[in-house]
Structure 1
Amino acid sequence: MIQSDEFLLELGQLTEQSVMCLAPSFKALPPSDYLDGAYRLRRFSHFRIQQGVLTRLPTKAFVQSGDINTFQGSVERIYPEIEDDVTETAAFQNMLMGFKAKAGVSDDQSIEVHQMRIIANNDALTEAAPEGVHQDGFKSLAVVVIERSNIKGGEIQVHTAKDSAPFISHTFDNGEFVVLNDQRFWHSATGLEATQDEDAYMDAFVLTA
């Protein structure tokens, strides 16, 4: 038997009440001037949880090295903050505290949160992960899919190596999530295609620490 105290991966599900609470806020996500800004609408904030209390940290730019993100690495990206009406809900706070507990995030570590809507069209595939198979450069990562609307594709995939086939490929929806060790695994997502002309999208939170 292989034994390890290191966190590896866990699948889970938010409550139906949490999904219903969080889903409407994605309608207010703004576009940006970055390479993916027309089809990946986003807000970004980071937090610390100390003694069970969630605290928003000062606004900062989001940047990844070009070695990690070959799509738009080494670019300082500044997104609007996630709205207080979202972060002050029990649903949002429970999501972050669950991530902290599952991934073993310490009180002195910050948790970065991307709130994202990926818009699909029926003319061509929309790349949900234009970086391809990648790591985000953190210790732990979670993808929480809140809602899918009028799309096909967009499966979240987890790989043991950059050049390996996925051992998880699943159409996450309605609060389903994966938490994984970002130093041990790689992840990707298949392209999205609209099944109707309007309201075709995938809404998700991505958490890193």
Structure 2
Amino acid sequence: MPATTHIEDLRQTIAALVKQQGYAHVSSNNAIRLLAEAIPGIEQHLPSYLEQWDHLPQDRFMADGGLYRYRRFNCLGAERRDGQMLFTSQPQRPFYQSTEFNTLNGGIERIYEGLDEQDLAHPVYRALLAASSRIIDALHPAPAWDIELHPIRTACAPGCAGEPTPEGIHQDGVDYFFAILIHRQNVEGGVSELQDEHHAQVWQAPLLNSMEFLLVDDRRMYHGVSSCLAANNAPGWRDALILNYRLPKGAPSRHASWQQG
């Protein structure tokens, strides 16, 4: 991505890349700049944010029998009011994907514990929501969005790989998504791959640095992440946050609102 000086220039560059090629890769340094616009001094809040990832419950819905995944799941709404984006928590619901989009774990309702309001109020989550919604607004202006948060830890150990996307190369059935690398510890592999609608590879690289992210047009692209392997003969993990944005189809009841920024 070309170097930019102003945050708005950076945001418009990201949006233009997604419009042109279906995705944008954003470095850790630029991601931190975007987050700091919403919450100045965001770096000081990262250590306490990382602590949340040590308390993710184990995912018990892995059809391959794997015990390597830990996750939570929350649904939010975003609505533009008076020039600001207002975020609201939606009631907790099961996570469902059809087998069209998830051949491994699709076709069933998966019930996950959500982040509580105190976790969602963390400055890093506030900054992530504010920064991502501003980019989406530059890419595809809309009065409202439904947002899904998927904090996921993929663990690995010597002789036991972790699979960030055990279903393989796939789509999620949303409009846009952010795949944000939160932290890697003692991991080899975990290489992200993007393919176009013809399944031709268009991008491949590991996300390595905290807050580095991909923004992907899920309607145009396929994506996947290769196996995570333990390095140095010791356990490891890959923490990633998936933020799904989709245009709303209904108007569920909402509560616990807060504003962008």
Provide the TM-score with structure 1 as the length reference: 0.88
2:158–2:235 contact (8 Å) kept in structure 1 = no
What's 1:48 paired with? 77
* Matches for 1:5-154 after TM superposition, within 5 Å: 6=19, 8-12=22-26, 13=28, 14-15=31-32, 16-17=43-44, 19-35=46-62, 38-50=67-79, 51-104=84-137, 106-154=142-190
Q: Select between 81-90 and 39-48 the one with higher mean Cα deviation.
A: 81-90
- What's the counterpart of residue 205 of structure 1? 241
Q: In structure 1, give the amino acid aligned to 2:49.
A: L
Match of 1:155 in 2: 191
Comparing 102-111 with 84-93, which one deviates more in the overlay? 102-111
Greater shift, 131-140 or 95-104, is seen at 95-104
> How far is 1:60 from its partner?
0.8
Q: Which runs of 5+ in 2 are unaligned?
A: 1-15, 33-42, 246-261
CA–CA separation in structure 2 for the residues paired with 1:150 and 1:49 = 36
Distance (whole Å) between structure 2 residues aligned to residue 17 and residue 195 of structure 1: 29
Which entry has the higher C-alpha Rg, 1 or 2? 2
Q: 1:156 to 1:83 in 2, by over 3 A?
A: farther
Asked whether the equivalents of residues 46 and 112 of structure 1 are also in contact (C-alpha less than 8 Å), the reply is yes
Alignment partners' CA distance in 2, 1:17 and 1:9: 29
Once the two structures are TM-superposed, the CA of residue 32 in structure 1 deviates from its matched residue by 3.1
Question: Following the alignment from structure 1 to structure 2, what is the Cα–Cα distance between the partners of residues 115 and 107?
Answer: 26
Q: CA contact under 8 A between 2:18 and 2:216: conserved in structure 1?
A: no
Q: Give the 5 Å matches for 1:156-171.
A: 156-161=192-197, 163-171=199-207
Which string of whole-angstrom CA distances, capped at 9 and with x for unpartnered residues, describes residues 6-32 of structure 1? Answer: 473233334344533421100000113
- How many residues align? The count is 207
Where 2:109 maps in the other structure, the secondary structure is: coil
Partner residue, 2:219 = 183
Q: TM-score, normalised by structure 2?
A: 0.72
Q: Identity over aligned residues, as a percent?
A: 24
Backbone CA RMSD of aligned residues: 2.3
Q: Of Structure 1 and Structure 2, which has the larger fraction of its residues in helix?
A: 2
1:57 to partner: Cα distance: 0.8
